[in-house]
Amino acid sequence: MVTDGTGIIDRLVGLVAPERFQRFLVTGGLGMVVDMAVLALVVETGLLRPVLGKVVSAESAFLVMFVVNETWTFSQFGTGEWRDLGRRFASSHGVRLLGVAIALGVLYVLHSLYGVWYLLANAAGIGVGFLANYTFESLVTWRVHREP
């Protein structure tokens, strides 16, 4: 079967890559550690409240995860040209904003409305946003449905 990398089937097949998914999961775990550490630091030192601190912690995690995804998880996709790298960086940030919006919403609801400890609420939000991030990072940022 000849594919052009643009069909729905090609996109779905591009997502089903167990090794890449595992790498994305490990990278996400690293990002979660960075996110939680920065969030705890800014909240416990009194610099920021949990919801605003989430913005700072998410950006810190974004940067770490982009570098790891670029050099390990999706290393065979895209070129090393500055323009291509810049497109992936911008795209990754846009995609991650969806994930952080989900995580922020879960954090707000669980912590502010239900009194769940802010770090537990944050972890739940990160978990909920994970699949959206994997799907859109794979298809939009690194375009795994196209031949590397």
- Kindly state the tokens that stand for 32: 């979660």
Question: Over 70: is that where the pLDDT of 125 sits?
Answer: yes
> pLDDT tens across 35-63, in order?
999 999 999 999 999 989 988 998 999 99
In this structure, the number of other CB atoms found within 10 A of the CB of residue 107 comes to 26
Residue 21's CB is within 10 A of a number of other CB atoms, namely 14
Taken in order 65, 67, 57, 104, the sign of the CA dihedral is negative
Q: For 26-35, 60-69, 82-91, 130-139, which range has the lowest pLDDT when averaged over its residues? A: 130-139
Token look-up 């795209």 returns: 91
Q: Cα(67)–Cα(50) distance, rounded to whole angstroms?
A: 26
To 10 degrees, the CA torsion angle through 34, 35, 40, 42? 100
- Could you report the per-residue pLDDT of 66-89, keeping only the tens digit for each? 999 999 988 888 777 899 899 999
Across all residues in the chain, what is the average pLDDT? 86
